[in-house]
Amino acid sequence: MNKVKAGFALLALLLPLLLNATSLLKNDLLNKAASDYIEQIGDELFAKTGVHGYVIATNEHFPEHFNLVAYSKRYDANTSRPYVMLIFAPNAIITAKSQRKGRVGIIPSSKAIASMYDRGDVLDATIDVVASVDKNKVEDKHAIGIVQGFSELADEIASAKGVKLEHTIKETRQGIWVLQAVVLFGAAIVLWMFFLRPILIRIRDGKKEA
């Protein structure tokens, strides 16, 4: 009986950790490379600062004036305090008249957490890539913008705590490589699924018929 009670007690302690083990609360937009990088940043942020970092990357079509703070409450059961949450919603309506889309929300669990970062810096880091005019696909820009914004957010919180993160994106060769990897990995998946794989299947089926 004592062993059973001890087992339940251990499960009660571990269950919140298991439920909140991911930094990505919703992912409609990120490829595997970007998703893995978000998780890596979130893990290091919590390990060194005790602050949980969460990302919601959603393709939901929110109406004008949609309350992102209220929306974030839907994920309360999957979060642990203290936390900061980055919401990236490229299909959210900014103004109904212009039909401009794309909103970014930064939701802290307290004023103390909010004081650890500059909202403007994080928004700039997230939006600048998406707003830039270049040859990258919109999907790739979304992935890079989310990773870059979350990285900036984590770096600023770490700095406020007096520590340094090793896995965030900085103006270094490694940071540039990571951004390129995010884009190239997504492109490779598309190339394989829609071009190379069908060709290989046709070749294989042709050999079987012969």
Measured N-to-C along each axis, helices 138-160 and 119-131 cross at an angle, to the nearest 10 degrees, of: 160
Task: Map residue 139 onto helix, strand or coil.
Answer: helix
The pLDDT assigned to 130 comes to 78
Alpha-carbon gap, residue 36 to 24, rounded angstroms: 9
pLDDT band at 197 (very low <50, low <70, confident <90, very high): low
Helix (H) / strand (E) element for 187: namely helix 173-191
Among 2-16, 124-138, 192-206, the least confident range: 2-16
Alpha-carbon gap, residue 146 to 129, rounded angstroms: 9
29-33 mean pLDDT: 90
Among 56-70, 89-103, 134-148, the least confident range: 134-148
Computed over every residue of the chain, the mean pLDDT equals 81
The pLDDT assigned to 196 comes to 65
The CATH number of 19-209 is 3.10.310.50
The pLDDT assigned to 90 comes to 94
- Beta strands 24-27; 52-57: pairing state: parallel
Q: Is the pLDDT at 140 greater than 80, yes or no?
A: yes
DSSP string across 26-91: EESS--HHHHHHHHHHHHHHHHHHS-EEEEEE----PPTT--HHHHHGGGGGG--SSEEEEEEEEE
6-28 mean pLDDT: 58
Residue spans of the domains in the chain: they are 19-209
Per-residue tokens: 156: 């600023």
pTM, two decimal places: 0.74
Q: Is the pLDDT at 132 greater than 60, yes or no?
A: yes
Alpha-carbon gap, residue 151 to 55, rounded angstroms: 11
Alpha-carbon gap, residue 2 to 112, rounded angstroms: 42
Q: Which residues contact 23 (CB under 8 A, 6 or more apart)?
A: 38, 39, 41, 42, 43, 52, 53, 54, 55
Q: Which residues contact 128 (CB under 8 A, 6 or more apart)?
A: 145
The pLDDT assigned to 141 comes to 86
Closest of 161, 157, 127 to residue 144, by C-alpha: 127
Q: Is the pLDDT at 85 greater than 90, yes or no?
A: yes
